[in-house]
């Protein structure tokens, strides 16, 4: 058994209540400005910014601190094109056969369609993989705990960090994603979780006129 090691919580900062309120409101205002964007500029983004945002995402809590995620950052145009071609094939099938009428109706207000030009236009596609299990140094299969929760939290933190830095993103999930393992040479213990499309919005980017639910609808204090 590994030895238990602890250290004091030197990172924690306690703020006066007024400052806490100000900070919470400031963060809320910043988060309210975040929009999912589907129309990207081809303007390049400094790789260092992406690296910093990934480092921030990697501070996420995870089951047993196993950090069961891989972030594959694609900027190579040929690879982006390959991903676009594979994804559009799946989307064509989705919109013409797989999706129920109810599902297509639920998406109507987002203005989505099978063509995915942003997969080539955006400077970065971050393919996020869940590590369902791993292998120890001695080759023993190691179970991972609360993988989807962990990867979801890290992805949320990545989206937040990218937004905070001044970039936009799109959470993109074609209905089948295993093609990403092949294109990106990822092992089978890694299951594609989503493609996060990252960059600047195009000059003429439009976003759907949608609202978030009010607090009273999403929360209850008991």
Residues in the site for ligand IYR, rule: CB under 6 A?
Answer: 91, 94, 107, 110, 112, 172-174
Nearer to ligand IYR, 23 or 98 (CB): 98
Query: Looking at beta carbons, which residue is closest to ligand IYR?
Result: 112
Minimum distance from residue 206 beta carbon to ligand IYR (Å):
15
Q: Give the closest residue to 60 by CA, choosing from 195, 173, 160, 169.
A: 160
- For 146, the 3-state DSSP assignment is coil
Please give, one letter per residue, the 3-state secondary structure of 149-218: HHHHHHHHHHHHHHHHHCCEEEEECCCCCCHHHHHCCCCCCEEEEEEEEEECECCCCCCCCCCCCCHHHH
Minimum distance from residue 53 beta carbon to ligand IYR (Å):
22
Minimum distance from residue 26 beta carbon to ligand IYR (Å):
29
Report how far residue 169's alpha carbon sits from residue 38's, in angstroms, rounded to the nearest whole number: 8
Nearer to ligand IYR, 58 or 171 (CB): 171
Nearer to ligand IYR, 92 or 163 (CB): 92
Minimum distance from residue 156 beta carbon to ligand IYR (Å):
16
Nearer to ligand IYR, 112 or 181 (CB): 112
Nearer to ligand IYR, 75 or 112 (CB): 112
Report how far residue 151's alpha carbon sits from residue 157's, in angstroms, rounded to the nearest whole number: 10
**What separation in angstroms does the CA of 30 have from each of 50, 84, 152, 155, 160?**
19, 31, 20, 18, 9
Specify the long-range contacts of residues 210-219, CB closer than 8 Å, at least 24 apart: 210/109
């Amino acid at each position: 058994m590994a030895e238990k090691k602890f250290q004091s919580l030197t990172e924690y900062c306690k703020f006066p209540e007024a400052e806490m309120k100000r900070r919470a409101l400031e963060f809320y205002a910043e988060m309210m400005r975040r929009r999912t964007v589907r129309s990207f500029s081809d303007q390049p983004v400094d790789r260092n910014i992406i690296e910093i945002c990934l480092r921030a995402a990697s501070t996420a809590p995870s089951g047993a601190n196993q950090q069961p995620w891989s972030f594959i950052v694609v900027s190579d145009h040929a690879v982006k094109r390959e991903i676009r071609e594979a994804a559009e094939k799946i989307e064509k099938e989705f919109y013409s056969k797989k999706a129920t009428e109810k599902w297509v109706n639920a998406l109507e207000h987002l203005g989505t369609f099978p063509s995915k030009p942003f997969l080539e236009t955006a400077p970065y596609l971050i393919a996020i993989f869940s590590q369902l299990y791993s292998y120890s140094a001695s080759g023993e299969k190691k179970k991972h705990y609360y993988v989807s929760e962990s990867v979801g939290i890290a992805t949320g933190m990545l989206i937040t960090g990218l937004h905070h830095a001044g970039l936009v993103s799109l959470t993109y999930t074609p209905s089948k994603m295993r093609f990403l393992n092949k294109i990106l040479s990822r092992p089978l213990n890694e299951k594609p979780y989503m493609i996060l499309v990252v960059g600047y919005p195009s000059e003429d980017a439009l976003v759907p006129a949608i609202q978030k639910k009010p607090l009273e609808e999403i929360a209850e204090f008991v």
